[in-house]
Chain A
Amino acid sequence: MVASVRTEPQSFNWYTQHDGTTDVLTFLTQARLVRVNRVTQEIEPWLAERWTRADDGRSYTVKLRANVTFADGHPFSADDVLFSFAAAYDPKGGGPTIGGDVMAGGQPLRVSAPDPLTVVITFPVPFAPGLRLLDNLPILPKHKLEAALQAGTFADAWSLSTPVSEITGLGPFVLTDFRPGQRLVFSRNDRYFRKDSSGVPLPYLDRVVVDIVPDQNGQVLRLETGQADMMTSEARPEDYAALKRAADRGRVQLVDLGGALDADSFWINLKPGAFGADPRATWLQRDELRQAISFGVDRKAFADTVFLGAGVPVYGPVTPANRKWFSSAVPQTPYDPARAEALLAGIGLTDGNGDGMLEDARGVAARFSLTTQKGQTALERGAQVLRDELKKIGLAVDIVALEGNAAVARFVSGQGYEAAYFHIGMTDVDPALQTEYWLSAGGFHVWNLGQKTPATAWERQIDELMARQTAALDEGERKRTFDEVQKIFAEHLPVVHFAAPRIFMAASSRVMGLTPAVQRPQFLWSPDSLWVRP
């Protein structure tokens, strides 16, 4: 089977590099203790056979599968689990590792191994998602990487210079060839631990080739012409027509997964003092401005224009695709330009000179810049639609399209931008694993990052609710609490969402056993059950 990706991996080590291709490589070659089923969004035993939770709700005794070996024949044991946690929390990594992804309340988990097939995992604080966190931790071979960890060079271990024969894992495939800029080749791991329901050893495929095709048009063309069997990421709206034609001819299967898990986000810089002595500071950071913007944009038209008809209107950071945590009770702002104008008038923005555009009481034009990422079609188109829509309610917007790194640098520093339109991807559906976004101290709290103390009363309230939501072990209580968080968010709208793209995935019609999911990698999250018709 031949899949295509846009970029080559930055490393063979997911612990130190989190790019999309390294993610695909990790799903193919590594395994976790538990796995989040991307379709049901529930956790499943994987290298862990079963587990029990202690009465305090913080400690888990995990029994590992017996007779599991790495692809190179070395037996897997609890020592590898301990090693993986140690590597994740390694302070000498020389940069971020995946440690933050396997922490609870900002603290590492305590892990011990009473015997080679048992691991006891203790959370430092009550943590509702529990073992779900372990989906973030592929288990690495201690026998291969222990020396690097001890030498303090783990951050450089399994770089692209490493011979592929050194890379081993517990996943369904083994990396057997890497040609920089061209492709990665994976062969079947004959020692893989899983069998299907009939007892047939998995995986079914003998070989997976991942071609590196930087241009997405090239990816589509390869799929259409049978030179590739799948794209690992979703098709763009502009690719839909070509892929539909190929599907009608029976060459391609086109899967509509519905709206995405996340929508592009609009926010205004709410960092205190971000606008200094600028006279617009009096109204730029007011809730009413963002509420007016939310009322002033026709989301249906926005979705149709930006995503060429393949989008769905959304009203908050949790989209309907997140079936468990989406709340239909959260207020949705309808398209109501009159209401938007009233809200703007309420903060002193009126059309004093009759030119159709608003000014504040001092005659300063109601105008702000909107920073977005250059080269991302949906973002650039979205920014243009926003500019046109907001002009109708008297707000002038100047688009500043920056190269991705430059835009992120401004957002992270909280300086050099007024408003942003950017893609913020959610890595998990469970809100307790997204606390960096929800909590005021979070590094992903984009509108005002890393606050020492909550800047507003409503952010303090969300902090408290999220603390309860993360600790509660009762799922009903967690849902009710998070619904409340979403309501507060919708009331103050620190981030405004307009539409999410529909996710279309395309694969050759000869590929069977697909279990597509909304989360990336949509097809390859479960590679061991794929097979191809001859």
Chain B
Amino acid sequence: MLFFLLRRLVFAGFLVFAVSSASLLLAELAPGDYVTGTLGFSATPEEMAALRARYGLDRPLAEQYVDWLARAARFDFGRSLANGRPVADLISEAAANTALLATTALVLATFIGLPLGVFSGARAGGVLPGMVRAASVFLLSMPPLLTSLFLVFLAARTGWFPIGGMSSIGPGGPGGNMESFEYVAIDLLRHMVVPVLALALPLSAMFERLQAQATAEVIAQPYVLATLARGVPRSRVVWRDALKAALRPVASIYGLVVGTLLSGSFAVEVITTWPGLGSLMLNALRARDVYLVAGCAAAGSIFLAAGTLVSDAALALVDPRARE
């Protein structure tokens, strides 16, 4: 098990290195740069050269890359060209926000999708399982972008929830810094409703479908039929024995789901103005802020690698064959 985890950790490290390096190099190689975008026609060639020199963009690409790599190895990802703040600070703030959103959505989707999957998979017919299946198919066909647009529209029309952002201005004193902890927590939860639902609903539908199919297959196995024939209550068989056996398909895609969730959350973050990695990456790409682009890509790949690692570990626990 230890060797298995070590192997996965090495792969995760390589993934982060490859993705962030590729992002930096591609952003550097694309025509135009931060300086042309910022100054446009308004600067002389000398001023442009001075600004490039200030940011180190005048050096050969290989030199820039090696320098960045050396600094990145010490967890120094440089400064954002656009606003001068350390990339590590910007990333950590945004990544925390994205992680909060993604984790909440994942937990919610798991708690909605898995029980509903077991419920609908354990019953071949019936109106209720049919309704669950129909709702799942509908939600699966809706990409997070459309779901978030619909939820934003709903929130705007009803006024039930804020339509964007992460916090309200607050009734406190100037600067809005005087809110109580309770106010901040409730305010944050209210702001999370729209983006979390936008991410969690399609995901829970996917979990429901996978779990339902796996549950139906497991229930049809001879050993489950034999257990039922011995008079063990159906609910106990389904929720205790069959559930564990049927978890393998969902566990195996959990890592991928984390990656999908992250890339899906980019669109949701932009629509709902959630200040996470998605919004940060979009702005960085628009501005050709190369170090920030590389930092965002590294953070995204760390999420993906961590998700894959957790998924592999979970799968190894559920199914020892996966360790081989």
- Residues of A near any B CB (own CB < 8 A): 2, 7-11, 17-19, 93-96, 100, 155-156, 159-161, 176-177, 179-183, 185, 187-188, 206-207, 209, 211-215, 218, 221-222, 224-225, 227, 402-412, 416, 424, 436, 443-444, 446, 449-450
Contacts and interface: CB of A to CB of B under 8 A. Distances in A.
B273 A212 contact: yes
Nearest to B276: A181
B275 A182 contact: yes
A8 B283 CA distance: 9
A89 B265 CA distance: 45
7 contacts: A8-B83, A19-B38, A218-B163, A221-B152, A227-B164, A405-B34, A412-B40
Given A95-B47, A405-B288, A160 B283 contact: no
Contact of A405 (B37, B45, B279, B283): B37
Given A10-B83, A94-B54, A215-B271, A221 B41 contact: no
B210 to A, nearest CB: 33
B222 interface: no
Contacts of A155: 54
Contact of A160 (B30, B43, B85, B164): B85
Contacts of B94: 181
B164 A176 contact: no
A224 B31 contact: no
A93 B50 CA distance: 9
Contact of A443 (B30, B44, B54, B286): B44
B41 A412 contact: yes
A403 B237 CA distance: 58
Given A214-B283, A412-B41, A209 B84 contact: no
Contacts of B40: 408, 412
Contacts of A100: 42-43
Contacts of A424: 41
Interface in B25-70: 30-34, 36-45, 47-48, 50-51, 53-54
Contact of A412 (B36, B156, B165): B36
Contacts of B152: 218, 221
A474 B47 CA distance: 34
Contacts of B32: 402-410
Contacts of B169: 2, 183, 185, 209
A95 B31 CA distance: 21
Contacts of A225: 156, 159, 163
A225 B39 CA distance: 36
Interface of B: 30-34, 36-45, 47-48, 50-51, 53-54, 82-86, 89-90, 93-94, 152, 156, 159, 162-167, 169, 174-177, 270-273, 275, 279-280, 282-283, 286-288
6 shortest interchain CB distances as A-B pairs: A181-B275, A405-B37, A405-B32, A95-B51, A159-B84, A409-B32
Nearest to B269: A214
Nearest to B280: A181
Contacts of B90: 180
Given A182-B275, A424-B41, A227 B163 contact: yes
A41 B220 CA distance: 81
B283 to A, nearest CB: 7
A450 B45 CA distance: 9
Nearest to A99: B47
Contact of B174 (A18, A207, A436): A207
A11 B53 CA distance: 19
B93 to A, nearest CB: 6
A176 B279 contact: no
Given A187-B174, A405-B288, A411 B41 contact: yes
A436 B44 CA distance: 10
Contacts of A2: 169
Nearest to B54: A94
A402 B36 CA distance: 13
Given A96-B51, A406-B32, A185 B43 contact: no
Contacts of B86: 161
Given A181-B275, A218-B163, A405 B84 contact: no
Nearest to B286: A404
A411 B41 CA distance: 8
Given A185-B175, A214-B270, A221-B156, A405 B36 contact: yes
A363 to B, nearest CB: 32
Contact of B176 (A177, A213, A409): A177
B83 A160 contact: yes
Most chain B CB inside 10 Å of its own CB: which residue of A2, A207, A408:
A408
Contacts of A402: 31-32
A227 to B, nearest CB: 7
A95 B47 CA distance: 5
Nearest to B275: A181
Contacts of A93: 50
A215 B36 contact: no
Contacts of A404: 32, 37, 286
A96 B90 CA distance: 25
Contacts of A213: 164-165, 273
A9 B44 contact: no
A218 B164 CA distance: 8
Contacts of A183: 165, 169
A408 B37 contact: yes
Most chain A CB inside 10 Å of its own CB: which residue of B93, B152, B164, B286:
B164
